[in-house]
A and B are shown apart, each in its own frame.
Chain A
Amino acid sequence: ETGVTQTPRHLVMGMTNKKSLKCEQHLGHNAMYWYKQSAKKPLELMFVYNFKEQTENNSVPSRFSPECPNSSHLFLHLHTLQPEDSALYLCASSYRQGGTGGELFFGEGSRLTVL
């Protein structure tokens, strides 16, 4: 139990499907993040939410739509994805954004395959 739970762990979807990834943290953190990990690439930050407000969108295509209804939950809505979007999507949380206390606690990831 990492304190950050992601569902589903695996997802296969067609390019016309709409699906969502869910993340929940039980650590009392105030910041939540979506990262993408593709093969042989560094972790790519996608979105940051701090106290439910989006503070960073790292030029992510609009086919990825985040939602943060409260500090404990984060969603990533997926629509008309491309095969190159297949990757491991990692959710993370931290007590604060950046600096001491900014240590990220990651979930186990959602492995997405787009056919």
Chain B
Amino acid sequence: DQQVKQNSPSLSVQEGRISILNCDYTNSMFDYFLWYKKYPAEGPTFLISISSIKDKNEDGRFTVFLNKSAKHLSLHIVPSQPGDSAVYFCAASGFSRGSTLGRLYFGRGTQLTVWP
């Protein structure tokens, strides 16, 4: 049972435009959300996170938006660059250490391709 879903397996965007990657979750106990980026033959790298007390977190070209009522988050990349081409994973966890919510639940990932 997938508790974190990324329904778009791929996204193609022109350089300079905005990339919007979407993620939905089902468990209302999740209160911490993360995005990871993965290049081929490398491990995922942490990109940006947001806790449930916020609805927006921005770091340079990357902004994550959280809509708790819709159980939806999105990652905006603007402007998109060819080097952003990678697989982006959404992940979620809860604050309950020692419970299974303390682990990260990952989505299947979205392959972003930014073309010149």
With contacts A98-B94, A100-B51, A108-B43 taken as known, whether A42 is within 8 angstroms of B108 at the C-beta atoms is yes
Q: Which residues of B contact A (CB under 8 A)?
A: 2, 4, 31-32, 34, 36, 41-46, 49, 51, 89, 91, 93-98, 100-104, 106-109
A40 vs B110: C-alpha distance in the bound complex, in angstroms?
11
CB pair A99–B2 under 8 Å, yes or no, is no
Contacts of A108 in B (CB 8 A): 41-43
**Nearest chain B residue, comparing its CB with the CB of A92:** B43
Instruction: Report A60 CB to chain B, min CB distance, Å.
Output: 14
Q: How far is the CA of A30 from the CA of B106 in the complex (A)?
A: 21
Question: Is B103 a contact of A99 with CB atoms below 8 Å?
Answer: no
Q: State which residues 56-115 of A face B: CB under 8 Å.
A: 56, 90, 92, 96-100, 102-109, 111
Do B95 and A99 touch (CB < 8 A)?
yes
Residues of B within 8 A of A109 (CB): 41-43
Given contacts A90-B43, A97-B97, A106-B44, contact A56 B49 (CB under 8 A): no
Distance A102 CA – B102 CA, assembled complex (angstroms): 8
On whether the beta carbons of B104 and A104 are closer than 8 Å, the reply is: yes
Quick one: closest B residue to A43, CB to CB?
A: B106
Report whether B49 and A98 are in contact in the complex, using a CB–CB cutoff of 8 Å.
no
| Chain A minimum-CB-distance residue to B104 | A104
Query: Do A41 and B95 contact each other (CB < 8 Å), given the known contacts A2-B45, A90-B43, A97-B103?
Result: no
| Closest residue on chain A to residue B48 by CB atoms | A103
* In the complex, A21 has a CB within 8 A of chain B: no
Across the two chains, which residue of chain B brings its CB closest to A107? B43
Distance in angstroms between the alpha carbons of A28 and B102 in the assembled complex = 19
Is A105 within 8 A of B100, CB to CB?
Answer: no
Provide the bound-state CA to CA distance between A48 and B102, in Å. 10
Report the bound CA distance from A69 to B67 in whole Å: 41
- Taking CB atoms, residues of chain B closer than 8 Å to A2 are 43, 45
- Pick from A40, A56, A103: contact of B103, CB below 8 A: A56
Which residues of the partner chain A approach B89 to less than 8 Å between Cβ atoms? 42-43
